Amino acid sequence: MHLSLDDLMARPAAFRRDLMNTLPGPRGVHLIGTRGHRGTENLAVFSSVVHVGASPPLLGFILRPLTVPRHTYHHLKATGWFTLNTLHPHILDPAHQTSANYPIGESEFAATGLTPTYSDRCKAPYVEESAVRIGLTFEEEYPVRANGTLFIIGRVQEIIVPDRVVAETGHVDHLALETLTVGGLDTYYRATDPIRKDYARAKPKS
Ligand SMILES: Cc1cc2nc3c(=O)[nH]c(=O)nc-3n(C[C@H](O)[C@H](O)[C@H](O)COP(=O)(O)O)c2cc1C
């Protein structure tokens, strides 16, 4: 297949959505936990979390346009806190279900059976069933003019991860944790067979 921009735009919207979502390949997938001022807890699955930088530690994600109420955005702006929680095979069904559109007063934790848990510090709920839990404060947001999405950046305030999976070097062993990745909006992948390479340096010309 060789598609030009015009070819792509002539395709049905659903085809374009699924092609564009799966085209870059499998990527990280997280549950974002938030809590509103009135105490309502919210949880939703997101596949756009990216590393922004390590010093200071920053992670970001893309949020769909605010054309309808976005509970995650509403809460994280209200309290300044959100959490990122990894997906694993044993919680895939409830995790995926959090993408359904629940009313703002209804907690996705209660609706799906996932368990909210809190640390002393973080004002947003973590997912007890997730092996890697990251607590962040809202840092910056950038509107993407081309399509009305927002790039949200958070500052990592807290990391909760089993000791046994963090190597001396700082590498996290996601194979041992069975952390899932996702292609598009519906196809989840298990990681297998990681291939670790040395830091690449330019080779001197001979
Ligand atoms: C696998 C998957 C990945 C998703 N990734 C994103 C994403 O990166 N950004 C986004 O805004 N919505 C994403 N969604 C849609 C949200 O999960 C969905 O809109 C959810 O209802 C948002 O909940 P909220 O309104 O409570 O914040 C994704 C859905 C699925 C199934």
The structural domains of the chain, with segments of one domain joined by +, span: 26-190
Q: Is 61 exposed, middle or buried (0-12, 13-18, 19+ CB in 10 A)?
A: buried
Q: How far is the CA of 172 from the centre of ligand 1 (A)?
A: 25
| Nearest alpha carbon, ligand 1 atom 27 | 72
CATH of 26-190, one of 2.30.42.10, 2.30.110.10, 1.10.3720.10, 1.20.140.10: 2.30.110.10
95 in contact with ligand 1, CB cutoff 6 A: no
Residues in the chain: 206
**104 backbone φψ class: left, alpha, beta (φ>0; ψ -120 to 50):** alpha
Least confident of 58-62, 69-73, 171-175: 69-73
| Nearest alpha carbon, ligand 1 atom 15 | 99
The predicted-structure confidence for 121-164, as pLDDT tens digits, reads as follows: 999 999 999 999 999 999 999 999 999 999 999 999 999 999 99
Q: How far is the CA of 205 from the centre of ligand 1 (A)?
A: 48
48 in contact with ligand 1, CB cutoff 6 A: yes
Averaged confidence pLDDT in the chain: 96
- pTM for this entry: 0.96
62 in contact with ligand 1, CB cutoff 6 A: yes
